[in-house]
Each structure stands twice: as structure tokens, then as C-alpha cells.
Amino acid sequence: MKSHVQVAVIGGGVVGASVLYHLTKLGWKDVVLIERSELTSGSTWHAAGGFHTLNADTNMAALQGYTIGLYRELEEISGQSCGLHHVGGLTLATTPERMDQLRAERAKHRYMGLDTEIVGPEEIRRLSPITNTDGVIGALYDPLDGHLDPSGTTHAYARAAKIQGAEIYLRNKVEALKPRSDGSWEVVTEQGAIIAEHVVNAAGLWARELGRMVGVELPLHPMEHQYLVTEEIPEVLARDSELPHVMDPTGESYLRQEGQGLVIGFYEQDCDPWAVGGTPWDFGHELLDNRLERIGDALEYAYRRYPVLERAGIKNIINGPFTFAPDGNPLVGPVPGLRNFWSACAVMAGFSQGGGVGLTLAEWMVEGEPSRDVFAMDVARFGDSCTRAYTRTKVRENYQRRFAVSYPNEELPAGRPLHSTPIYSEWRAQRAVFGQAYGTEHVNYFALPGEPLEETPTFRRSNAWQAVAAECRAVREAVGINEVHNFGKFEIRGAGAADWLDRLMAGRMPKVGRLSLSPMLSPKGRLIGDFTIARQAEDVFQLTASYAAQAFHQRWFEQHLPADGVQLRNISLQRIGFQIAGPRARELLSRVADIDVSNAALPFLSTATCEVGLCDAIIQRVSYTGDLGYEIYVDASQQLALYRALSEAGADLGLRPFGMRAMMSLRLEKSFGSWMREFKPDYTPLETGMERFVAYRKPADFIGKAAALAEREAGVARRLATFIVDAADADVHGDEPIWQGEQVIGFVTSGGYAHYSEKSVAIGFLPVEQIAEGAEVEIEILGERRRATLFTGMLFDGDGARMRG
Ligand SMILES: Cc1cc2nc3c(=O)[nH]c(=O)nc-3n(C[C@H](O)[C@H](O)[C@H](O)COP(=O)(O)OP(=O)(O)OC[C@H]3O[C@@H](n4cnc5c(N)ncnc54)[C@H](O)[C@@H]3O)c2cc1C
């Protein structure tokens, strides 16, 4: 065993083996894998081995496509068969809502270049004659679906990694991990200690335990899962080609051929987290006891869907545990708060995702950033927002919802409320309908009298329509109030703060008392942040950006923080308050603030401290509604006092609370982009119109400057544009293809209904040469192509008179 290595990957399941392979593929050869037992000694050995590309997140779907395409390469390098069966797969729809979802998926696949298709019952029967299509409306067919041999595949990764220089140490449990002052780790194993410059937690079923060795509680939990293997079935034996997979969401099952029999697995409602107290270290190649009583109903349903099953003998019942994060996606990347400690765990579909996870992590480690946006699986996306009980509750919900239709406006109920602000009960009494982001409640809208206190999940326009329209009107015609807690907020102070921020941010630093808007770039010049920077004093700044990205941003800040001279504090839930927006916002503020709030004294993009009612407040003159507006921040303990002051003073001004749905509608009227929709690490400043906030000529050599300058020199092929859509009862949500004739020429990043302007709006990418006022395209919404007209102006306040006046 080596005594010093560049990387120690801990865990020899399919994920650890993939990470090891990809590190060697990208050129790091001094890498080892440490496995407590034999390879595949966790979840991997009893997997059903199915793979598919379907994933709600586009980049996750692309990485699943990468994984599937990788297996041939692995077989060639390693000489080890992965036991591949590329048989294709059908996902059945028995309801119009499921059909909507499949159509939306199909539409997305068009611009991703994936060759899926919607098929009807007759074609389903032709492809899978054992399927009874009673009640089936249609299906999505994906030719890439298939299955493989889990053990062969893991060994293929491992062998290929060894051929490329890696070493593997088996039967050698990692017992402790000790950080060293130079950022490396002492990895204490049963066979001795190794110094590793980097450590990767790929411990699968034991990833929680490994995290705890370094003081980190990773938000993941194992769940039990069962599948049955049948004896030979005559109808299968009689075929000369292999059956495709069939996913039957209504029956909560997946089915595939295994030899001359079938495998059928269930995601049952009656399920429980496994090993709540921790995964036992002596657990390995044993299976859990059968829990057939849990799948009785689903099995009965399956007999009706696949009548051949009823006559089939059961050869094997597999019940094994595997891990999930609260949203079902993996936890990958640098673990916040630690140096050189990486996560590659909570991979619930190792054979669809393992290759993509390995590639992503290796790129991150070797090249400094992954080649695409991977926030959907970033280990930082939960930050420290999850308690253990919350994680268990969400993981259970996610398991139960494995086959549920996911709607774009859906708010999942489990584990709520967890974090909330003092105003929560007050808003609730005013009929607030809440959503949740990063574990924290926010208001989506206020239900009108007589309306249910719940938004109907749908791909189309929801029952919140009238309420959101009324809130938008209140903002545009009087004054609206909503919370500002769901911005991620940082306070940065110290003698070195200005210089440090100048190097971190691509934009210009504001003068004291002013705000600036600034993108933050990665070294490769991609967008990793979209900040409002407020300079409250020479050496004191407040940064606001996406709430959900706060741990992502904090990790980046901490990675670049100088040894002294700069103090960074995450104040997201500590400094909260409200924004007021609309033509009467100034009058309202003037009634409660003890400073002159006229346009001359407090112009657009300025900041001031003052008293508001009983509170000490910080005011920022800016509003994402695109209207005249102010953000008012106070200490969380004063939020209710601030609310009382504003609501009393605003009563005769038509003050009305509004929620996130109205806010996202109002911003469309100004074509304001939004983080993770228009702005994310897949895109660059010039592609997104953010170049107007990049200070290309400032003296500071900010991160990403060289790449940004090179981009400006070379130009870009695509840019964002806004469209007015001839929509019917459904608006765009994101990822819809944009057609010209029979060609897909772009895709939608976000959109919706702009209530005040009464227009359906889409924002999306088009090739630059196609961007011209009035250009006609079609946008595919739920399988229908709708006419859309490119619009270069603004639906509201085109000259900015209201916002700046
Ligand atoms: C019944 C069942 C069916 C499934 N079907 C499918 C399917 O059809 N398709 C699909 O894609 N996925 C399926 N899965 C999920 C799949 O098994 C997992 O996604 C995958 O195995 C996760 O791999 P891993 O490498 O992350 O973890 P694991 O397989 O759990 O591997 C972790 C490894 O780390 C080692 N380790 C842990 N701690 C230490 C330590 N301290 N020192 C050294 N070594 C350590 C363990 O011994 C183990 O070998 C199924 C799972 C189950 C249970």
C-alpha cells in the first residue's frame, strides 16, 4: 500500500469505481480506491441493473445519456463485459396529466438530441406483447433504456482504472480521517495510514458514517427496495428478441426481461427508511427479509398489467437498501466547510448516473470546475438546511413519489414547515399559500376568499390565476409588500473587503451608499452568481443573490477567502424584512422612515440606514418587480415590528401582500432573468445579456476575466431573447423547444403569464442571427406548437421612468 497519494477514493461500489476510472481518464494516475470488503459490497451487488435517461433536470438527463454511452468504451478498455442489454423502454401513461408530463419530456429531448418518441397503445402492444394496455393512453419510448450486469460493470470500471494507473486496496476498512494543516488528509485504514491530498466519499450505504468521521451530516438516507425474479415464462421463451423495459407509474413498478423470465420491482407507498441509527459495519452481502405484504396491492395490479406474471413461479425475491438524498439526486462535489474532501454519494441509480457522477467529480477535481451546470446534484444544494429527521421524511416522500407526476408548480408537503420567518403565522392568517426553497417557507400567493388554500398541481394554468393577477395589479397600480428573506445574503467587511470583492466579482464595486449589479464568473468565464452588491460603508458590503444557492456561493467565497483582512458572514435568515413595490411605494416609505426618501436623496440603486417605525433598518432602492421599489432589511427579531409599521401606514394606500408567483410574473414584463433559469453555469455573460454588468476594463484581474474578454472578442452563437406566445391554457415553464419550420433552433429557459400586461411570455436562447424584432417562431407547449413573436422591448416601463424615477 502506498503511503502518500493524490487521491484516496473510499468505497468500491459502482460509483467509487467510476470516480477512480474518470480520474485516471483525465490524467490523475496517483489515485487509489480503498474498499472495506470486496468490490460491490454495498448496494451495488443486488441492483436490478436497469438504466435510462429520464430525469427532470436536463443536465442530469444528459449525464445519464453519457453513462449509458460509456459502457462500450469501458468494455473495450477493460476487456470485461458489462453484460449490456440495449432493449429500449416504455413509460406508460394512464392519465392525461401523465401524458402531459411525457409530452413535456419528449419536447425537452428534441433540443437535447435524444431520440425518444410518444407511442400509442397499439405500438406498445407490438413492442411489448405481454403488456395489457387497458386504460393506457400512450407511452414514451426511449431506445436507450436497457440493463446490465452490476458486478461486471463495476469490475469493468475498476479494471479500466487499474490499466490506466490506479491501485485498489480491498478488505481494508477506513476507520478514521484526520485533516492535516496543509489541507491533505490522513486516511487511517485497517492496514495502516495513507496521506491523501484529496479524499472522495463514495461509501454508498455508509456515506453517512464516513461523513460523520469528518464532522459532516450528509443529507441522505437508505431505503429498503424489493424486486422479484420469476422462473422461465413460456411467452418469453417463445420470443426471438428481448422484451423492452416497461415502467408503469400507475402500478409503481418497473419490469424487464431476465433470462427467459422477468424482473419486476416496486416503489411501494408502504416504505420506511432503513438503518435509522446508522448502517451496520458488518452489513454486506446479505439481503434483508422479504416484505411481501408491502407490495401485495402493487403485485395484484401488476398481474392485471402483465397477465403472464400470474402464472409465473417466483425464483428470487430481493430486498436490499440503497441511499437517497431528499430530492432523489446524488450529492456530488466539494463538501462545504472542508478542504479537499469530495462527495460522490446518494446515487440512487448507479447504473444510469454512475458514469456522469464520476465524470463530473473528476472534472471538478482535475480541472477546477465541471463542464456543465450540475447544481441539481451539487452536495452544496442543501447547505446545512436539513435536520436528520427532515432528511428521513423527505427521502421517504421521494421514494413514494418515484413514479408520481412532477408538476412545475408543485410544492411537496413532507417535512414542512421546517424553517420559517416570524411573519409566517401572520401571512397564514391572511390565506397565504406557501412554497418551500432550501427548507424555508415563502409565500407563493394569497388565496382569494372562497378559494382553496392550496394550488392545484398542473402543467397548465392553475387555480392561483386570479389571485396572482390581483397581486400583480396591486403592485403596478398601488403598492405591494412581500418578504425579502428568500435572498441568500452575505455581509462582508474588513480592510481587504473591497479589493477581495473586486477580484471575485466581474462587475464594478459601488461607491459608499450605492448598489451595483454584478455577475460572478468561474475561471472559464461561466456564470456562477448574479449579485446585488450594496456598499454600506467603505469596508462593509451586503451581497444578495439566490437563496437556494447560498451554500454554493459560500463554498466559493470560503475557497477564495484571504487569510486575514476579510470577514464573511452568511446572514440569510438573520437579516430579513420586506420589499415594497409600486407607484405608491415611496409615499409609504416616507410615512415610516426617518430620512428623506425622495428620488434626489435616495435614487435608484442606492442604499441607506435609517429608522423605520421601531426598527433599525437598511434600505436598498431596487426591486425585482421592475417597479419603483425598496427592500427594507431588519434583524429577524424585528420583522413583525417592521410589518406592523408598514401595514398600518399603507392601509389607505392600497397596500397588498404579494407572493413569489406574482413576483415571477412581474419580472417577465421587464425580461429580467432569474438564477438557475436564465443565469447558471451553463451560460456566459455575453449569451445572457449580463455583459452589460461586466467591467471588462476595470484594473482588477477578476476571476474569469481572461475568458470573458476572449468571449467578447470571439462573439457567441446564441443569445437570450424574449417572446410573446400565442398560448391557450398553458404557458411555458422552461426547457420547451423553439421551432422554425421543422427545425428546433433554440429552447426556453423560463417564462409564464405576465398578468398585468396580459401576455404569455417566454425567454429562451436563439442563434444570434435569428434574433430580430418581430421574428416568428413556434414554441412547443405540451406537444402543441404555439406561435411566438420575438419582442425586443419591455412590456412595462420601457424607458425605466417608473423604476428609476
Ligand atoms: C434492490 C435494489 C435494486 C436496484 N436496482 C437498480 C437499478 O435497476 N438500476 C440502478 O441504476 N440502480 C439500482 N439500484 C441502486 C444502485 O444499487 C445504487 O445506485 C448503487 O449501487 C450505488 O453505488 P455506490 O457505489 O454509491 O454505493 P455502494 O454500492 O453502497 O458502495 C459503497 C462501497 O463503499 C464501501 N465502504 C463503505 N464504507 C467504507 C469504509 N469506511 N472503508 C472502505 N470501504 C467502505 C462499501 O463496502 C461498499 O462496497 C438498486 C438498489 C437496490 C437495493
617-638 pLDDT, tens digit per residue, is: 999 999 999 999 999 999 999 9
Q: Tell me how crowded residue 511 is: count the other CB atoms within 10 A of its CB.
A: 11
Shortest-distance Cα residue to atom 12 of ligand 1? 349
Cis before 307? omega within 30? no
> Whole-angstrom Cα distance, residue 347 to residue 331?
7
Q: Helix 350-367 vs helix 14-25: angle between axes, to the nearest 10 degrees?
A: 40
356 C-beta closer than 6 A to ligand 1: no
Of 71, 64, 108, 110, the C-alpha closest to 89 is 64
Question: Which amino acid, one-letter code, is at 181?
Answer: S
Which triple of cell numbers denotes residue 12?
Answer: 468500491
> Whole-angstrom Cα distance, residue 592 to residue 454?
34
68 C-beta closer than 6 A to ligand 1: no
Instruction: Determine the pLDDT at residue 111.
Output: 82
50 C-beta closer than 6 A to ligand 1: yes
Ligand 1 centroid to Cα of residue 804, in Å, is 56
Which triple of cell numbers denotes residue 296?
Answer: 401485495
Instruction: Determine the pLDDT at residue 192.
Output: 97
Instruction: Determine the pLDDT at residue 428.
Output: 97
For residue 189, the cross-strand partners are 174, 192
Instruction: Determine the pLDDT at residue 486.
Output: 82
Spatial contact of 60 and 356, defined as CB atoms under 8 Å apart: yes
Residue 435: strand, helix, or coil: strand
Instruction: Choose one of 1, 21, 44, 283 to mutate for the ligand 1 pocket test, by most ligand atoms within 8 angstroms of C-beta.
Output: 44
Instruction: Determine the pLDDT at residue 114.
Output: 86
| Pairing mode of beta strands 4-10, 192-201 | parallel
Instruction: Determine the pLDDT at residue 56.
Output: 83
Ligand 1 centroid to Cα of residue 13, in Å, is 5
Instruction: Choose one of 205, 262, 268, 290 to mutate for the ligand 1 pocket test, by most ligand atoms within 8 angstroms of C-beta.
Output: 205
Spatial contact of 279 and 206, defined as CB atoms under 8 Å apart: yes
> Whole-angstrom Cα distance, residue 559 to residue 368?
12
Give how far the C-alpha of residue 518 lies from the chain's centroid of Cα atoms, to the nearest Å: 23
Q: Tell me how crowded residue 429 is: count the other CB atoms within 10 A of its CB.
A: 8
Average the pLDDT over 12-29 and give the result. 98
> Whole-angstrom Cα distance, residue 119 to residue 124?
7
203 C-beta closer than 6 A to ligand 1: yes
Instruction: Determine the pLDDT at residue 714.
Output: 98
204 C-beta closer than 6 A to ligand 1: yes
Q: Where are the alpha helices (DSSP H) in 185-242?
A: 207-213, 234-237
Kindly report which listed range (199-213, 227-241, 280-294, 389-403) carries the lowest average pLDDT score.
Answer: 280-294
Of 214, 208, 225, the C-alpha closest to 279 is 208
> Whole-angstrom Cα distance, residue 767 to residue 775?
12
User: Which string of DSSP letters, residue by residue, matches 27-50?
Assistant: T--SEEEE-SSSTTTTTGGG---E
Question: Which amino acid, one-letter code, is at 727?
Answer: A
37 C-beta closer than 6 A to ligand 1: yes
pLDDT tens readout for residues 516-543:
999 999 999 999 999 999 999 999 999 9
Spatial contact of 606 and 509, defined as CB atoms under 8 Å apart: no
* Type and span of the H or E element at 266: strand 261-266
| Pairing mode of beta strands 31-34, 167-169 | parallel
Instruction: Determine the pLDDT at residue 40.
Output: 97
How much of the chain, in percent, has pLDDT values that exceed 70? 100
* DSSP 8-state symbol, 373: -
Residue whose C-alpha cell reads 460522490 in the numeric block? 344
Question: Which amino acid, one-letter code, is at 150?
Answer: P
The ligand 1 atom at the shortest distance from the C-alpha of residue 204 is 27
Instruction: Determine the pLDDT at residue 439.
Output: 95
Spatial contact of 90 and 127, defined as CB atoms under 8 Å apart: yes
pLDDT tier at 272 (50, 70, 90 boundaries)? confident
For residue 534, the cross-strand partners are 515, 542
pLDDT tier at 684 (50, 70, 90 boundaries)? very high
Residue whose C-alpha cell reads 426598527 in the numeric block? 615
Of 546, 252, 217, 226, the C-alpha closest to 390 is 217
208 C-beta closer than 6 A to ligand 1: no
Q: Cα angle vertex 122, ends 119, 125, to 5°?
A: 100
34 C-beta closer than 6 A to ligand 1: yes
pLDDT tens readout for residues 122-159:
999 999 999 999 999 999 999 999 999 999 999 999 99
Question: Terminal CA-to-CA distance of the chain, rounded, Å?
Answer: 70
435 C-beta closer than 6 A to ligand 1: no
Of 668, 648, 640, 682, the C-alpha closest to 725 is 668
Question: Which amino acid, one-letter code, is at 800?
Answer: G
256 C-beta closer than 6 A to ligand 1: no
The ligand 1 atom at the shortest distance from the C-alpha of residue 50 is 8
* DSSP 8-state symbol, 597: -
> Whole-angstrom Cα distance, residue 643 to residue 665?
24
Model confidence at 367: pLDDT above 90: yes
Of 254, 262, 253, the C-alpha closest to 235 is 262
pTM for this predicted structure: 0.97
pLDDT tens readout for residues 468-513:
999 999 999 999 999 998 899 999 999 999 999 999 999 999 999 9
Q: Cα angle vertex 218, ends 488, 492, to 5°?
A: 30
Instruction: Determine the pLDDT at residue 339.
Output: 97
Model confidence at 336: pLDDT above 90: yes
Model confidence at 783: pLDDT above 90: no
Average the pLDDT over 599-619 and give the result. 98
Shortest-distance Cα residue to atom 14 of ligand 1? 47
Ligand 1 centroid to Cα of residue 552, in Å, is 26
254 C-beta closer than 6 A to ligand 1: no
Spatial contact of 34 and 189, defined as CB atoms under 8 Å apart: yes
* DSSP 8-state symbol, 756: T
For residue 615, the cross-strand partners are 612
> What is the SS3 assignment for 701-750?
CCCCHHHHHHHHHHCCCEEEEEEEECCCCCCCCCCCEEEECCEEEEEEEE
Q: Where are the beta strands (DSSP E) in 559-614?
A: 567-570, 575-581, 607-612
Give how far the C-alpha of residue 501 lies from the chain's centroid of Cα atoms, to the nearest Å: 27
- 483 sits in the region (left: phi over 0; alpha: psi -120 to 50; else beta) called beta
> Whole-angstrom Cα distance, residue 211 to residue 290?
30
Sign of the torsion angle spanned by Cα atoms 300, 305, 307, 313: negative
How far lies 270's CA from each of 48, 227, 265, 660, in Å?
Answer: 20, 15, 14, 34
Q: At a CB cut-off of 8 Å and minimum separation 6, what does 302 contact?
A: 248, 251, 253, 255, 264, 266, 309
Q: At a CB cut-off of 8 Å and minimum separation 6, what does 748 contact?
A: 732, 734, 735, 736, 737, 738, 762, 763, 764, 779
613 C-beta closer than 6 A to ligand 1: no
> Whole-angstrom Cα distance, residue 633 to residue 80?
61
Q: Helix 639-650 vs helix 585-592: angle between axes, to the nearest 10 degrees?
A: 120
pLDDT tier at 301 (50, 70, 90 boundaries)? very high
Kindly report the average pLDDT of the chain as a whole number.
Answer: 96
Residue 457: strand, helix, or coil: coil
Q: Helix 150-163 vs helix 58-78: angle between axes, to the nearest 10 degrees?
A: 70
Model confidence at 460: pLDDT above 90: yes
